[in-house]
Amino acid sequence: MFKMSRTFVVLLIIILVIAGYFFAYRPFSDYLKVQKIRSIDAWVESYYSANDRYPTTQEFATQFPSLNVNDFSYYDGGSTSPSGFVLGYDLSAQRSFAYGYNSPRLFDNGYYQVEECDRWKDLGFKAHPGPFVYMMPMSLEAEFDAGTVNAFANNSVGKALLTGLLHPRLVGYGDDRQVYVLSGKDVYLYQVQFTPSMQLVSPKKIGTTLSACPAGYSDTGKTN
């Protein structure tokens, strides 16, 4: 009888330990990870507010050198002056308190991603600002640090169309006759003139980029 009682107690302890791991420790560990992601995302968005671009992967790694690469990942969206990012992290399972959107991978339902918030949604953009806009037969490129917008055709040397801009970005209007140009926080709509040579003319200021994410922003999976 005593041996049976002792065996029962041992089994009960084992069951309680396993239950505690799955129903207490793992959820709590995931909760702490979500809070960390929130603070990391806040830093990334604040970086954009101060610099008109998102941090590069290298800058991110310098800021957070101790992050476990098996649990967290950061991609800067390309170009030397990123206009977007993807911040990924792994939870032990899908969680109602997770931050971002669930992006399940093979045998991993707890993977989530966070992307840049839409600071430009009230301006009617069909895409987020970036360094390039293609307008057949030419393309426009914004040189972020040089403050210029150049035109290229068939790998030719670029022709400067605009100069003296502050951290310029481009957004296609939806046709080849107009283009949005961001200079710092200011947003302008330019007319594209192709003949006798390509020019950007008749700028019209249409608004400014928000200095922070919209309150309660939820697009691309961010929840506050």
Q: Bridge-partner residues for 87, per DSSP?
A: 74, 114
Q: Is the dihedral of CA 160, 162, 165, 171 positive or negative?
A: negative
**For position 155, what pLDDT does the model report?**
65
**For position 217, what pLDDT does the model report?**
67
Q: How far apart are CA 103 and CA 101, in angstroms?
A: 6
Closest by alpha carbon to 220, among 45, 56, 70?
45
**For position 136, what pLDDT does the model report?**
75
3-state secondary structure of 172: strand
Q: How far apart are CA 78 and CA 144, in angstroms?
A: 13
Closest by alpha carbon to 144, among 46, 210, 56?
56
Residue type at position 218: S
Read off the pTM.
Answer: 0.82
Low-confidence ranges of the chain (pLDDT < 70): 1-4, 8-24, 155-157, 216-221, 223-224
**For position 74, what pLDDT does the model report?**
95
